[in-house]
Amino acid sequence: MLWRECRLRWRPCTLRLLALCLAALLCTHFSAELRRKPLSQPGLIAKAPAKELGVEGSNRRAEELPSKRQVIYVRRSSKGASHGRQEGNAGVPRRDPLQPARWHIDLQPWAGPSRSFEEEARRFLHYITESQIDCSRLVTNGLTNHYADTLKPWTVCLDDKFNLAHQIRSKQCRVYSFGLGEDDNIFEFNMASGGCEVHRFDPSISSAHIHEADRLWHHQLSIDWRDPNPAIAPHRLHRNTKKLKTILNEFGHWKIDVLKADMESAEWKILENLILEGIIEQIGQLVLEIHLHWPGFEVSGNDSSVVRYWFSLFKELEHKDFKMFYTYKDLSKPQMFLKKDVFNASSCYVLSWVNTRWT
Ligand X SMILES: *[C@@H]1O[C@H](CO)[C@@H](O)[C@H](O)[C@H]1NC(C)=O
Q: Which chain residues interact with ligand X by CB under 6 A?
A: 115-117, 301-302, 304-305, 329, 344
Cβ 308 to ligand X, closest distance in Å?
Answer: 9
Distance (Å, rounded) from C-alpha 291 to C-alpha 286? 16
User: Between residues 113 and 252, which has the closer beta carbon with respect to ligand X?
Assistant: 113
189 membership: H or E segment, kind and range? helix 186-193
User: Between residues 227 and 298, which has the closer beta carbon with respect to ligand X?
Assistant: 298
The residues facing 138 across adjacent strands are 157
Distance (Å, rounded) from C-alpha 335 to C-alpha 293? 8
Cβ 350 to ligand X, closest distance in Å?
Answer: 14
The residues facing 283 across adjacent strands are 256
User: Between residues 302 and 359, which has the closer beta carbon with respect to ligand X?
Assistant: 302
Cβ 333 to ligand X, closest distance in Å?
Answer: 12
State whether residue 270 is helix, strand or coil: helix
Cβ 305 to ligand X, closest distance in Å?
Answer: 5
Distance (Å, rounded) from C-alpha 74 to C-alpha 100? 20
User: Between residues 88 and 301, which has the closer beta carbon with respect to ligand X?
Assistant: 301
Cβ 110 to ligand X, closest distance in Å?
Answer: 8
User: Between residues 54 and 301, which has the closer beta carbon with respect to ligand X?
Assistant: 301
DSSP 24-83: HHHHHHHHHHHHHHHHH-HHHHHHS-HHHHHHHHHHHHHHHS--GGGHHHHHHHHHHHHH
Distance (Å, rounded) from C-alpha 287 to C-alpha 240? 23
User: Between residues 163 and 304, which has the closer beta carbon with respect to ligand X?
Assistant: 304
Cβ 149 to ligand X, closest distance in Å?
Answer: 15
State whether residue 347 is helix, strand or coil: coil
